[in-house]
Amino acid sequence: MSAKPFNDNFLKACRGEEHSHVPVWYMRQAGRYQAEYRKIREKYSLFEITHRPEVCAEVTMLPIHQLDVDAAILFADIMTPMPAMGIDVEIKSSIGPVIANPITGKGDVEKLRKLEPSEHVPYILDTIKLLREELRVPLIGFAGAPFTLASYLIEGGPSRNYYKTKAFMHSDPEAWHLLMDRLGEMTVTYLKAQMAAGAQAVQVFDSWVGALNAQDYAQFVAPIMNRIFSELEEESAPKIMFGVGAGHLLHEWDRLPLDVIGLDWRTPISFARGQGVTKTVQGNLDPGLLLASWPEIEKKTRGILDEGMQTPGFIFNLGHGVYPQVQVETLQRLTAFIHEYSAKNN
Ligand code: CP3
């Protein structure tokens, strides 16, 4: 065990407080770009990893040791709680979640079961407890948001244009809202259980909600997001909201009782501020840039830091997850650069 002091820069940034350097973590910081992860995956599927707290904690900690990031994110998937609700899901390599029994109507929604975390996902709670004994950085828990989860459940897998989801939403609003309620209830229950087990912050992934225009978002999604964050308001752990291509929804998110807004790579920090975002922001280097040469990466990173550091509390991240093709050395160098540059220019 190391005697390293606890690094709370990430939690301070979430709360908009001054910190000694800009904290950084990366979405998908544990994954296939790491040889150690690929080796573990030869033996276990993604679900098998998450069902084994010791293996799952080891995978969660890989990037902490390797990259020196300022936060850990629980290794799991947004689909992890779905089997407990009655969804037959498999995570297929290079595809994503594939559902054997997609939702086609109200009857399917009514059949969805309630998540009881200690009964259905005890392994997740055990992994969190194990991690808290080991980690010297904060642990981020997470859950999928109703729209993004519903898109998988209705489409049956990943989608480009979400037409089945949109058709469902517009043709049977009552069933849609029931589906949002059931999934939203899961999100709240699951996140509360993660925080009770020791997660010190949580991120809600609404990765694909940017597919909706602002009007449909307001009608079909905003009510459940309001409810989720009001039900989580009493929890002291900071809450982060993230979606891809959601620049047109940022003003809605800024009104919610949450702490941090995650920006994708197409949403400049200045644009977000121009939209009225007052909260701490997290982001947003284009993950594709990690495959470019170092001078380009450094230049773009410097630009993001210069903008982000104009307000106290900024968290560096990518605009979406790390690609499997990225070199570990690139992320090591990037992390060191962010720490050094932000400490010097504070
Ligand atoms: O390090 C971390 O970020 C924590 C682990 C994590 C995973 N999934 C593991 C995973 C997290 C936070 C997620 C969230 C998740 N899962 C989201 C929201 C974030 C985002 O990317 O927008 C979504 C939409 C999913 C659904 C999902 N699961 C997709 C689209 C894929 C990718 C398919 C692929 O192979 O590229 C998955 C699979 C998945 N989840 C992997 C990992 C590490 C792929 C690696 C593997 O098969 O071992």
- Ligand 1 centroid vs 28 CA: distance in angstroms? 7
Task: Give the total residue count for the chain.
Answer: 346
Query: What is the torsion angle, in degrees rounded to the nearest 10, for the CA atoms of residue 43, residue 130, residue 339 and residue 205?
Result: 70
**Is the CATH code 3.20.20.210 the one for domain 9-345?**
yes
What does pTM read for this prediction? 0.97
pLDDT one-digit tens code per residue, 17-50? 988 899 999 999 999 999 999 999 999 999 999 9
Q: Ligand 1 pocket check: which of 78, 137, 159, 264 to mutate, most ligand atoms within 8 Å of Cβ?
A: 78
Distance from C-alpha of 229 to C-alpha of 24, rounded to nearest angstrom: 24
Instruction: List, as one string, the DSSP characters of 58-96.
Output: HHHHHHHHHH--S-EE-S--TTTTTGGGT--EEEETTTE
Which neighbouring-strand residues pair with 143?
A: 204
Atom 5 in ligand 1: which residue has the minimum CA distance? 75
Distance from C-alpha of 18 to C-alpha of 189, rounded to nearest angstrom: 32
Say what the pLDDT of residue 346 is: 73
DSSP 8-state secondary structure symbol assigned to residue 24: B
pLDDT one-digit tens code per residue, 230-272? 999 999 999 999 999 999 999 999 999 999 999 999 999 999 9
Give the residues of the chain that fall short of pLDDT 50: none
Residues 6+ apart with CB under 8 A from 260: 14, 238, 239, 240, 241, 279, 280, 281, 282, 315
- Alpha carbon 197 to chain centroid, angstroms: 18
Say what the pLDDT of residue 3 is: 65
User: Which position among 26, 37, 152, 190 bears the catalytic label?
Assistant: 152
Distance from C-alpha of 43 to C-alpha of 172, rounded to nearest angstrom: 43
Q: Ligand 1 pocket check: which of 55, 77, 98, 139 to mutate, most ligand atoms within 8 Å of Cβ?
A: 77
Here the tokens at position 6 are 């606890």
Q: Ligand 1 pocket check: which of 34, 64, 66, 91 to mutate, most ligand atoms within 8 Å of Cβ?
A: 91
Here the tokens at position 129 are 């407890």
First to last CA, the chain: 31
46 lines ligand 1 (CB under 6 A): yes
Q: Catalytic annotation on 77?
A: yes
Place of tokens 């790579």: 265
- Ligand 1 centroid vs 227 CA: distance in angstroms? 25
User: Which position among 8, 26, 33, 77 bears the catalytic label?
Assistant: 77
Say what the pLDDT of residue 288 is: 98
